[in-house]
Structure 1
Amino acid sequence: MAIQGPIPISFHQVFPHGCFVVGEVEQVKDFDASSKGRTVYAKDKNTGELVWQVAVMDADPTVKAGQKTVSVKILSAVQPVVPAALPGLPFVPVEFDGMTATAYVAQNTGRLAWSIRATSMHAPRSAAASARQSASASVKETAGKDVAA
């Protein structure tokens, strides 16, 4: 099979309406390697980076209330920092880079579930900045091409 390991995916594919941080960034424990009185923290099998997690709320209005909160694992040598809060918002909006999705069967339900990982998090880019980025990418793509009249 051509698919081996985590599937690369963009932030906007996972959270098309955005998401908000609703918990603290915590280091993930490796329960298999830990013992009584000795805590071992998880490292990513492929990169060796430490694994951190943060709870986020999906801003999609069609998602059911019980399914809105998702844990995103972040691979980083140091603890990721939550972006600054914005005035007037109860939660901090956030975006993730370097996202991957890995399917697994949830033990408690027997249903397909997804493990979402990222390499970093940051404050959302403004709509204007995103539009400028898209326009700039389009110009770069067509700059080197011959256009037939």
Structure 2
Amino acid sequence: MAIHKRIAFGHAGVFPAGAFLAGPVEPVGDFNAPARPDGSRPQQVDKDTGLPLWQVQVIDPDPEAGKKDKAVTVKIAAAHQPVPPVNETPFPFTPVEFVGLTALPWIEDTGNGRARISWSLKADGLAKPGTTATAGRRSGEDGKAGPA
């Protein structure tokens, strides 16, 4: 069978009504690693690429999305902290498009004796919606993105 762990999707396949950042890009803490002397955790590293993992909270405005699917986390594997596109709207949420978006299904125990399929989303980068110049690049590879 040709399906590996992660399934590749285009951005529109996961977010047909678009996607909006609801917060900053943050490092993913590695809670399986021992805590540092100051109590902080090291940053988690992507198992596939060896790159540090970052995460963003995303709002999905799709009217068909379920209540539990309106806000999701997307992880990004990148050498440097990805820089979101500039928000050119009057709203507090930044429109975004994910490059190299993949999904990994997993079973979520809802605690009431029922389980549901959930999805772990990971991308190579993020870009301003509709831009094609960044479609094949990871965040940080164009020399413009870096630590925020």
TM-score after normalising by structure 2? 0.78
- Kindly indicate which of the two structures has a greater share of residues assigned to helix: 1
Structure 1 residue corresponding to 2:124, chosen from 119, 124, 134:
119
Gaps of 5+ in 1: 127-132, 134-149
3-state SS of paired residue (1:47): coil
Corresponding residue for residue 12 of structure 1:
12
Tell me which structure has the larger Cα radius of gyration: 1
Corresponding residue for residue 44 of structure 1:
46
Corresponding residue for residue 29 of structure 1:
29
Structure 2 residue corresponding to 1:89, chosen from 80, 91, 113:
91
TM-score after normalising by structure 1? 0.77
Corresponding residue for residue 58 of structure 2:
56
**Distance across 1 between alignment mates of 2:72 and 2:51:** 21
3-state SS of paired residue (2:13): helix
- Percent identical residues: 41
Can you list the C-alpha shifts for 1:108-148, whole angstroms capped at 9, x where unaligned? 5532110000000011117xxxxxx7xxxxxxxxxxxxxxx
**Distance across 1 between alignment mates of 2:14 and 2:67:** 17
**Distance across 2 between alignment mates of 1:21 and 1:38:** 25
Q: CA RMSD in A?
A: 1.9
Gaps of 5+ in 2: 133-148
Partner AA of 2:127 in structure 1 = H
**Distance across 2 between alignment mates of 1:66 and 1:73:** 18
Given the superposition, is the C-alpha separation of residues 11 and 64 from structure 1 closer, same or farther in structure 2, using an over 3 Å criterion? same
